[in-house]
């Protein structure tokens, strides 16, 4: 949303609901809904419904952006696999190359997801108040945040990987605490990565299990959708083709089919996870910072 909406960007305020349950506060069940979700603290089902509604109502912008990011992502991965992992060399050199490439793959994966979350934050921010959403408006709002999102992805990746190395649990804890950093950076127009990280930590603090459950529920649904799509696409591989090889050209076809499957899976599944993340961010701000009041004013003006 633009700055004329009058919505607060990062004003902490007093916590609105000391105990963040999975539902609206008493007396708020009849909150207005000018867009994809009610303008009050949300239940998990309302968050997932809002994510699906956003994808359905703004399919062109959502799936167009996701497909572009997914295509670039898959091309980079395919090129890396083809020209780096296939290089001949000693065993230890190949192992080092494989480790470096896998680390690069992990970063590219997280960056692609962060970019989709950033784009969907803009879309959801408009969709919840019933504002029109165009690709030009989304790009104009997201473009100044592109490089900060890159920097933020590097920080989040480094912290999460370091935590995962330390017996996994610290990595999961860090992932949840930093899970709302991209929406905070994009929606509140922070120019600094540190501010976005601090905002995410503050929004999650005291509600870690609440946010964790919602993030991982979205992750599981996303993985399920992605696996189903990948399985469907891989059925296009010729039966009885045997082991793919460069000699008969089946390796190139195999890679092409897998690449197409990955693009389709990411285009469909990742926007759902990204929209859920954006709605969790808005929900936490409505619970803690009275953001729903500002959203209602913005909805009244846009209506």
For residue range 72-89, what is the model confidence (pLDDT) as tens digits? 888 887 777 766 655 555
Give, to the nearest 10 degrees, the angle between helix 169-177 and helix 146-165: 160
Q: Lowest mean pLDDT: which of 177-181, 188-192, 207-211?
A: 188-192
Which pLDDT value is given to residue 108?
81
- Determine, yes or no, domain membership for 117: yes
Q: Which of 116-130, 154-168, 259-273 has the highest mean pLDDT?
A: 116-130
Which pLDDT value is given to residue 10?
47
Joined together, the tokens standing for residue 50 give 């809002």
Count other Cβ atoms within 10 Å, centred on residue 112: 21
Q: Are 7 and 291 in contact (CB under 8 A)?
A: yes
- Determine, yes or no, domain membership for 78: yes
Q: H-helix or E-strand containing 96?
A: helix 91-127
- Determine, yes or no, domain membership for 28: no
Count other Cβ atoms within 10 Å, centred on residue 95: 11
Which pLDDT value is given to residue 21?
52
Return the residue matching tokens 């104009």: 140
Which pLDDT value is given to residue 206?
94
Is the pLDDT at 233 greater than 80? The verdict is no
- Determine, yes or no, domain membership for 16: no
- pLDDT class for 25, splitting at 50, 70, 90? low
Q: The whole model's pTM is what?
A: 0.83
Is the pLDDT at 110 greater than 80? The verdict is yes
Q: Are 57 and 64 in contact (CB under 8 A)?
A: no
Round the CA-based radius of gyration of the chain to a whole number and report it: 21
- Determine, yes or no, domain membership for 17: no
> What's the rounded Cα separation, in Å, for the pair 43 and 40?
10
Q: Are 184 and 202 in contact (CB under 8 A)?
A: no
Number of folded domains in the chain? 1
Q: Mean pLDDT score of the chain, rounded to an integer?
A: 81
Residue-number span of the structural domain to which 58 is assigned: 41-238+245-302
Is the pLDDT at 12 greater than 60? The verdict is no
Which pLDDT value is given to residue 6?
41
- Determine, yes or no, domain membership for 27: no
Give, to the nearest 10 degrees, the angle between helix 59-80 and helix 91-127: 170
- Determine, yes or no, domain membership for 20: no
Count other Cβ atoms within 10 Å, centred on residue 276: 27
Q: Lowest mean pLDDT: which of 51-65, 245-259, 279-293?
A: 245-259
- Determine, yes or no, domain membership for 19: no
| Residues 6+ positions from 252 with CB-CB distance below 8 Å | 246
For residues 250-260, give the mean pLDDT: 71
- pLDDT class for 2, splitting at 50, 70, 90? very low
Question: What DSSP letter does each residue of 164-209 carry, written as one string?
Answer: HHTTSHHHHHHHHHTTTHHHHHHHTT---HHHHHHHHHHHHTT-HH
- The DSSP output letter for 246 is T
Joined together, the tokens standing for residue 107 give 């970063």
């Amino acid at each position: 949303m633009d700055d004329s909406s009058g919505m607060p960007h990062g004003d902490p305020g007093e916590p609105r609901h000391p105990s963040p349950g999975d539902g609206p506060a008493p007396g708020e069940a009849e909150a207005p809904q000018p867009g994809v979700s009610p303008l009050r603290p949300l239940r998990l089902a309302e968050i997932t419904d809002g994510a699906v509604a956003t994808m359905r109502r703004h399919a062109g912008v959502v799936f167009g952006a996701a497909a572009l990011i997914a295509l670039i992502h898959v091309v980079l991965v395919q090129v890396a696999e083809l020209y780096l992992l296939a290089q001949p060399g000693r065993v230890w050199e190949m192992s080092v190359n494989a480790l470096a490439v896998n680390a690069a793959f992990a970063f590219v994966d997280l960056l692609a997801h962060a970019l989709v979350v950033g784009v969907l934050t803009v879309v959801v921010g408009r969709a919840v108040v019933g504002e029109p959403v165009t690709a030009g408006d989304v790009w104009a709002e997201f473009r100044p945040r592109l490089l900060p999102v890159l920097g933020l992805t590097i920080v989040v990746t480094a912290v999460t990987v370091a935590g995962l190395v330390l017996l996994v649990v610290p990595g999961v804890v860090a992932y949840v605490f930093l899970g709302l950093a991209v929406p905070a950076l994009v929606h509140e127009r922070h120019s600094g990565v540190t501010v976005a990280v601090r905002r995410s930590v503050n929004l999650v603090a005291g509600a870690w299990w609440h946010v964790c459950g919602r993030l991982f529920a979205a992750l599981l649904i996303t993985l399920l959708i992605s696996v189903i799509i990948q399985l469907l696409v891989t059925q296009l591989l010729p039966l009885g083709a045997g082991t793919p090889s460069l000699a008969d050209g089946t390796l190139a076809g195999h890679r092409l089919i897998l690449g197409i499957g990955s693009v389709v899976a990411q285009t469909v599944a990742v926007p759902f996870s990204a929209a859920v993340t954006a709605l969790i961010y808005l929900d936490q701000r409505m619970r803690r910072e009275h953001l729903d009041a500002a959203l209602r004013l913005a909805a009244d003006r846009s209506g």
